[in-house]
Chain A
Amino acid sequence: MSDHLLVATRKGLFGFRRGAGGRWRNDETAFLGEPVNLVLADARDGNCYAALNLGHFGVKLHRRRPGQDWQECAVPVYPPQPDAGGGAPEDKASVAWTLQQIWALEAGGADQPGALWAGTIPGGLFRSDDCGDSWTLVRSLWDRPERAEWFGGGYDAAGIHSVCVDPRDSGHVTLAVSCGGVWQTRDGGANWACTTAGMRADYMPPERAEDPVIQDPHRMVSCRDAPDALWVQHHNGIFRSVDGGMAWEAREAQPSSFGFAVAVHPADPHTAWFVPAIKDACRVPVEGRFVVTRTRDGGATFQALSRGLPEGPAYDLVYRHGLDVDASGNRLAMGSTTGGLWLTEDGGDEWTCISTHLPPILALRFA
C-alpha cells in the first residue's frame, strides 16, 4: 500500500505522507504559487516528474531523482509548422502547433528504462528515452489525416490525456484523446489504429454519433493485472472493454454516468470507481450530493459511496486526473477543483477528508 501521495494544484505541488497513526500530513511543498497540472512517480527508477503550466512562460517539466532536488528538464517541442505564414500565436490555426499543456505523462515498459510517454494539448504524442532530457514527436500519429477531425473538449484544441502501456508488451500502447477517440499501436508507435467500436456521442449530429475520430473519452484506465480490461469515462457516459479496447460497451451508473475521472482496481478488472456530475450541461454533483460510484461486477450494478464525504450540499468536481488508486487497490485519493482532498483505505466504503483548503486540485498520484 502506498503511504505517499503527490497532489498537483493550481498553486503548487503538495506531498502528503501517511504517519504511523494513520494520519496523512502535508510533508513537502514545491513550486508554491505555480500551476502544476500533472505529476508522475516512476516506480522503475524512483524519479518523480511535475508538469507546470506557467501561463506567460509556457509549459515546463521538472524531474526529481531520488534524494535530489527538483530540476527543470526538457519539454516536448513541436516542430516548425509548415506554411505557417508567420501567423501570430493567437491565430487559431497556428495555436495547433504549439505546446499548450502536458496532459498525460506515463512511464514506458519495465524493459524500457528511461522511456516516458507524454500526451499533450494540442494532440501530439511525444516519447522520451532519457527520463525527459529530450523528447520526440510521434509523427506517425501526428500526421494521421484523421487528426484534422479532432477537436477540443474543454480546451480550444484536442488533447491526449490517457496513455496505457501494456505491461505484457511495451510496444502496445493505447491512448485516449478528447475529442479524437481511442488509438492503439502494437509496434511502439510506428502504426496506429483508432478503436472505438461501441462508443457513441449522442451530443453530436446523429450521422456523426458513432464516428470513431470525434469520440470524447474524458479518461481511460487499464487494469494492471488484466490489461485487456479498460474503463473509459466518456462525455456520453461510461464505457468498458474486455478485449483490449477493440470493442466497447456502455454501462449505466446512478446517480449519473457523466463525469471526468475513473480508476480501476489494479488486480480486479470488474471493480472501478467514478465521480459523477449531473450531466455535461451542468457539471456539479447530482442534487449537491458529492459521491463516488463504484462497481464490482463490471458495471452491471453501481453503489453510490458517501461515508465520510460532505453531508450537506457540496459542489466539488473532480478533474480527469484527480482520482487515483494505489497498487493494492484498497487506497484511493481524490481531489476537487475546490481544493478538497479525500482518501479511502478500504476501497471507498469510508472516506477521510485530508483538507478542504488546498488550491484547486488538477491531478494527483500515489508515489
Chain B
Amino acid sequence: MPRIVFAPAIQRHVAVAAQDIAAGTVREALDAAFAVEPRLRGYILDDQRRLRAHLAIFVDGVAVRDRAGLTDMVPAGSEVYVVQALSGG
C-alpha cells in the first residue's frame, strides 16, 4: 500500500504519524491524512485547496507537478513525502 509521510518540520506543529493509504491521486492521499488529523489541512493547503507555495510533495522522490489540482497519481507501493521547501524562510 502507498504511504504518506510528513516531514518533522510539519510534525512540529501538528503531530501526524506516517500512514498507509489507498492508491489514487495526491489529493486523495492528503484527504486521508486530513481525515485522521483535520488540523493538518490548513497547514498543507491554502484556502483555495492548493498546495501552499512553500511546501513540496514528492512521490517516490519526484516532485508533484500539479500543485493546484493535486492530480498526480500515487501508484501502489509508493511513498508520498510532504516537506517544507527551503524557500520562504
- State A55–B48 Cα separation when bound (angstroms): 16
Other-chain residue from A57, A90, A98 in contact with B48 (beta carbon distance below 8 A):
A98
A49 CB to nearest chain B CB (Å): 17
Other-chain residue from B9, B67, B69, B84 in contact with A89 (beta carbon distance below 8 A):
B67
Q: Which residue of A lies closest to B68 (CB)?
A: A86
Give the dominant DSSP class at A's interface: loop
A266 CB to nearest chain B CB (Å): 36
Residues of B within 8 A of A89 (CB): 46, 48, 50-53, 67-68
Residues of A within 8 A of B43 (CB): 54, 57-58
Contact of A98 with B46 in the complex, beta carbons under 8 Å: yes
Q: Given A57-B10, A86-B68, are A99 and B46 neighbors across the interface (CB < 8 Å)?
A: yes
Residues of B within 8 A of A58 (CB): 42-43, 46, 52
Seen from chain B, the residues whose Cβ lies within 8 Å of a Cβ on chain A are: 9-10, 13, 39, 42-44, 46-55, 67-69, 84-85, 88-89
**Size class of the A contact interface (CB-based, 8 Å):** 20 to 34
Closest 5 CB pairs of A and B: A57-B43, A56-B84, A56-B54, A89-B53, A77-B47
B49 CB to nearest chain A CB (Å): 8
Q: Which residue of B lies closest to A60 (CB)?
A: B42
B33 CB to nearest chain A CB (Å): 15
Contact of A99 with B47 in the complex, beta carbons under 8 Å: yes
Seen from chain A, the residues whose Cβ lies within 8 Å of a Cβ on chain B are: 54-58, 60, 72, 75, 77-81, 84, 86-90, 94, 97-99
Residues of A within 8 A of B89 (CB): 55
Q: Given A55-B54, A57-B13, are A80 and B48 neighbors across the interface (CB < 8 Å)?
A: yes
- State A180–B67 Cα separation when bound (angstroms): 31
Residues of A within 8 A of B13 (CB): 54, 57
Contact of B68 with A88 in the complex, beta carbons under 8 Å: yes
